[in-house]
Structure 1
Amino acid sequence: MESGTGVEQRAALLTWPRKTLTYQVINLSAAQSAYVKRKLYKNLYKVFGVPIWMDRTELSSQASSGQKILNVTSTEKRNFEVGAPCLIYTNESTYEYGEIDSFTSNQITLVGNLTYTWDADTDVYPLLQGRLQQTQDLMNLTSAYSKFTVTVVEV
């Protein structure tokens, strides 16, 4: 691409439109608020794996430790992609990350084996790999409650 003055201009050549996600998060304790603030400030320029919460699917059967296959209710019309990460999630301290090798309408095959065993009905989310926008909206509602608006742009 060339600028109007004839000087070279750099531009990223992408074959797909970049996704942008904006989430509003409310923390219910002072400890959660402090944790999120520390993570945001420390890792602002790193690439994050952000769950696409609205594209949730569930395991339709138990996924055992040591296997690569996740049987899920559906992957259709969700942002699961080959080579992209996915998240098996129960709560903020019980989760596992995996890279998608292939998938069909009701099965996801991971590159590596599972570390843990997951029950049927456990949530599975696609992850968007992206960077946080430099300006984030952080607001303390009370001494314990806080609200964050976080915007992530796909890399």
Structure 2
Amino acid sequence: MTQHQAWREITSETAFTKYGRSVEKVAFELPDGSKNDFYLKCERPAAAVLALTPDRQVILARQFRPGPRRILHELPGGFVEPATDPAATAAAELLEETGYQGTVQPSPKSGTTPTPTSSATCSPPPTASRSPNPGPSTPSSSTRS
């Protein structure tokens, strides 16, 4: 087996920061002596919740995303503020994005996922507390288990 030689980091600087995300420009000297810049996306810690209705339908949030330029169905979630429990963040995001609330249980840590995921079983929200996000945040019948 061939042993790889280490790359040496020369410089690192923040190229851009906005909305809890940043892009870092890192310059490396490669083993052959050449130098290259690499751009790394960095994000704050985030949490998401896989929420189910009592009849086991998945609750998804509908949110506009600028990259694909459309509204997507996604797990409710958001950035975890410093000194805040990820499960508490997941519960708050579930309520804010869908109007649903439930008992949130943190998933066991796998060590490979940067975003902690929680699960919850929820009851339907009162009509008056529904989220102002575009479109309904109703359970998805196409994601039934």
Length-normalised TM-score, structure 2? 0.25
Greater strand content: 2
- By relative contact order (CA 8 Å, sep 6+), the higher-ranking structure is 1
